[in-house]
């Protein structure tokens, strides 16, 4: 879990893939970036840290590592392109991802190509919770029914 009280100053440099000696962009923070650009940079830095932590490198991956992350409301203020960037990054790093989000149809659609199962929690009478657990195929077949339940 990230705790903003422990954040450090950083510098990140983007290089051109075709010519690694050429600098594309340099960052010393996210203050001058839009919300989406800042999130994309944050995702990239986190992805790099995760790759380092789990021994994921160009020669191969450490298959003995458990690479699970939980992302809470990652798409609440993101456009589809930035959300897809995060999901593709997780896929490239072979991460098992739990996405926690309100059951908004547009947010489910963003992660749908990347997930195998869906879990909905519905509160009844403001006292009890019911959990719905299903494969993505079942959600696709009965989308309206389940998304209405979850709202």
Each residue's pLDDT tens digit, 68-95:
877 777 666 667 777 788 888 888 877 7
pLDDT on residue 107: 66
Q: Which two tokens stand for residue 124?
A: 């009844």
Residue 124: pLDDT band (50, 70, 90) is: confident
Rounded CA-CA distance 1/9 in Å is 18
Residue 12 phi/psi, 5° resolution? -125, 140
């Amino acid at each position: 879990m990230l705790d903003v009280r422990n954040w450090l100053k950083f510098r990140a440099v983007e290089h051109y893939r075709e010519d690694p000696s050429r600098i594309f962009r340099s960052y010393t923070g996210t203050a001058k970036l839009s919300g989406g650009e800042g999130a994309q940079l944050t995702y990239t830095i986190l992805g790099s840290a995760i790759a380092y932590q789990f021994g994921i490198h160009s020669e191969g991956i450490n298959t003995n590592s458990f690479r699970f992350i939980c992302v809470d409301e990652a798409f609440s203020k993101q456009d589809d392109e930035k959300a897809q960037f995060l999901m593709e990054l997780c896929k490239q790093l072979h991460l098992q991802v739990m996405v926690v989000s309100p059951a908004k149809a547009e947010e489910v659609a963003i992660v749908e190509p990347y997930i195998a199962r869906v879990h909905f929690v519905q509160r009844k009478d403001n006292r009890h919770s019911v959990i719905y657990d299903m494969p993505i195929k079942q959600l696709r077949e009965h989308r309206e029914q389940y998304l209405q339940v979850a709202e």
